[in-house]
Structure 1
Amino acid sequence: MANYIQEIRSLVGHRPIILNAAGAILVNNKKEVLLNLRTDTHNWSLPGGFLEYGETFAQACVREYKEDAGLDVEIIEPIGIFDQGFTMYPNGDETQVISRLYLVKQVGGHELSEATNETLDLKYFPFDQLPPLLNQQTADMLEAGKKYFENHK
């Protein structure tokens, strides 16, 4: 069921809702993490997004990476679940997002894509030099990614 969230929003307006999302940590050979500059909030987040009806977290992760970054990825392993992602979007929508975070590797789409309807820019950042982030959940996920690499050297 495509555009599931749009359908829900048409019924509930801007009322707070709980949504499920998937995102991933992709690092380059310098152990820098890929982030995307969002068109809706003009700050940075991990490529990823909301599940469509009937989709698994893993399927959403792979689909969203292709949509946000133009990259084909393969899931290596799950890193964690994050359930304290509260966001108020510029259009007035309120959400609590439950996110599944994965570690992924790139398997196709050799160039980072140009801007899309959800992404203004894509860039790799060191874990200790991050730009302004979407929300606390994004910061928490990046901290989990940083710890993952500190423990898996």
Structure 2
Amino acid sequence: MANYIQEIRALVGHKPLILNTAAGILLNDQHQVLLNLRTDTHNWSLPGGYLEYGETYAQACVREYKEDSGLKVDIVAPIQIFDRGETTYPNGDVTQTISMLYLVRAVGGQLLGAATDETLQLDYFDFDQLPPLMNQQTADMLTAAQKFTTN
């Protein structure tokens, strides 16, 4: 996917783009949510990412969750779609992301033990004690997930 986005960026420069993403909420036994510390923005986000061409939101969520966390997940339920989110990356690129959020459960794999090109660290957090988040959309997704999982 990086090559796809790089090709688009080569054509449009830093012009804002609308891109589709998918993310997952995974809770541990203490009702804490798994977040990843991102290498690009150096703040915390939900495991997830951009859809590849031809991919569904659900397929992207499962693929990206594995890439970002090391865990194989299954989709439990869709939570909500979020279409109001803008991110400015350190290189000046701006995106409006349309993100589908899913509740997921781990079915295999293990948490990454070392940093990767996308994830510096993984940790579980209480919903009321979250670290610095990537953007307002991430905060909105966590609020929706907390409501969804406590009802």
Normalising by the residue count of structure 2, what TM-score does the alignment of the two structures yield?
A: 0.96
SS in structure 2 of the partner of residue 104 of structure 1: strand
Unaligned ranges ≥5, structure 1? none
Corresponding residue of 1:73: 73
Match for 1:77: what amino acid? A
Corresponding residue of 1:85: 85
Corresponding residue of 1:96: 96
Q: After TM superposition, give the deviation of residue 113 of structure 1 in Å.
A: 4.1
Provide, for residues 75-121 of structure 1, a one-character-per-residue CA deviation record: whole Å limited to 9, x for no partner.
00100000011011001100100000000000001334421101100
SS in structure 2 of the partner of residue 92 of structure 1: coil
Write out aligned runs for 1:1-150 (5 A).
3-150=3-150
Q: After TM superposition, give the deviation of residue 8 of structure 1 in Å.
A: 1.1
Structure-1 separation of matches of 2:88 and 2:79: 25
Change in Cα spacing, 1:70 to 1:53, as seen in structure 2 (3 Å) is: same
Q: After TM superposition, give the deviation of residue 144 of structure 1 in Å.
A: 0.5
Identity of aligned residues (%): 72
Aligned residues: 151
Unaligned ranges ≥5, structure 2? none
Structure-1 separation of matches of 2:80 and 2:114: 29
Structure-2 separation of matches of 1:113 and 1:20: 28
Structure-1 separation of matches of 2:111 and 2:123: 12
Spell out structure 1 runs of 4+ moving beyond 3 A: none
Match for 2:88: what amino acid? M
Structure-2 separation of matches of 1:85 and 1:2: 20
SS in structure 1 of the partner of residue 53 of structure 2: coil
Match for 2:82: what amino acid? F
SS in structure 2 of the partner of residue 141 of structure 1: helix
Structure-1 separation of matches of 2:15 and 2:51: 19
